[in-house]
Amino acid sequence: MTDEQIATVADAVKTILTAVGEDADRPGLQETPRRVAKAYNEMFSSLTEPTFTDYKLFHETDNADMVVVGQIPFYSMCEHHLLPFFGRISVAYVPTDGTIIGLSKIPRLIDFVTHRPTVQENVTNAIATELTRILNPAGVAVSVAARHMCMEMRGINKTGSVTQTAKYLGAFASDQALKQEFLMRAEHGNLNL
Ligand SMILES: Nc1nc2c(ncn2[C@@H]2O[C@H](COP(=O)(O)OP(=O)(O)OP(=O)(O)O)[C@@H](O)[C@H]2O)c(=O)[nH]1
Ligand SMILES: [Zn+2]
């Protein structure tokens, strides 16, 4: 966000504090609007990036087995309440023609799709869609498990409930054994590390 956008968000936060009945000028709150604006600048950082471009592809392997990156932590904000949802994402793809992506770029892609107001289903689908665009792989699998603060600290108040979503494309959609192997490796493959 620009300095002007940060100032606008800070003004809006001060308005909210006053509207809910706080004294926005009391000492403990004087810096709060600007802190919240800076926090939003981090949490919504990908709104200033139109597309995900920060990746390199390699063609150094003839490996056609699935690559699994499991249990990647993420934080996002639900677009309905602007409250956090967070959890873990497991991603797998089956390379085509030995084309692979730098491993760190998968968590970077997760940051790109989660650092904006969104819903869990969109996070799940966007990761699968972007990896398909980038890698044209033989298959993509994405599994997301998350806790939603809008279901825990307000509303229905169900503490600890876990929402699970998944997207399977290509070989993972057509081959049940491959899907099962992904789920097994994503959930249990790192227990001894
Ligand atoms: N499908 C989906 N729903 C979500 C997600 N995050 C929040 N929600 C839901 O969005 C819905 C918004 O429903 P509304 O009825 O418009 O809002 P509300 O009155 O605050 O709903 P309650 O949470 O039931 O009090 C709620 O059911 C939330 O649980 C998400 O990632 N995916
Ligand atoms: Zn919500």
Across the chain, the runs of DSSP E, i.e. the strands, are 57-58, 67-78, 84-94, 100-101, 117-118, 139-148, 163-170
Q: Are 184 and 190 in contact (CB under 8 A)?
A: no
Looking at the structure, tell me whether residues 88 and 119 fall in a common domain: yes
Cβ(149) – ligand 1 distance below 6 Å? no
Nearest CA to ligand 1 atom 23: 155
If asked whether residues 91 and 181 sit together in one domain, one would say: yes
Please state the domain count of the chain.
Answer: 2
Quick one: 76 and 39 in the same domain? no
ipTM score: 0.90
Alpha-carbon dihedral of residues 42, 44, 46, 49, nearest 10 degrees? -100
**Same-domain check for residues 13 and 62:** no
The pLDDT tens digits of the residues spanning 92-140 come to: 999 999 999 999 999 999 999 999 999 999 999 999 999 999 999 999 9
Residue 193: band (very low, low, confident or very high) from pLDDT cuts 50, 70, 90: low
Ligand 2 centre distance from Cα of residue 106 (Å): 25
Domain membership of residue 51 (yes or no) is no
Give the Cα separation of 151 and 119 in Å (integer). Answer: 13
Q: So which residues are the catalytic ones?
A: 78-81, 120, 148, 150
Distance separating alpha carbons of residues 124 and 143, to the nearest angstrom: 7
What sign for the dihedral angle of Cα 66, 71, 77, 83? positive
Q: Residue 176: which CATH number?
A: 3.30.1130.10
Are 75 and 12 part of one and the same domain? Answer: no
Mean pLDDT over 38-62 rounds to: 92
State mean pLDDT over 53-67.
Answer: 86
Residues spanned by the domain of 162: 57-188
Same domain assignment for residues 10 and 98: no
Chain centroid to Cα 66, Å, comes to 21
Task: Kindly state whether residues 32 and 101 are assigned to the same domain.
Answer: no
pLDDT of residue 64: 81
Q: Is 59 annotated as a binding residue?
A: no
Find the CATH number of the domain harbouring 30: 1.10.286.10
pLDDT of residue 60: 73
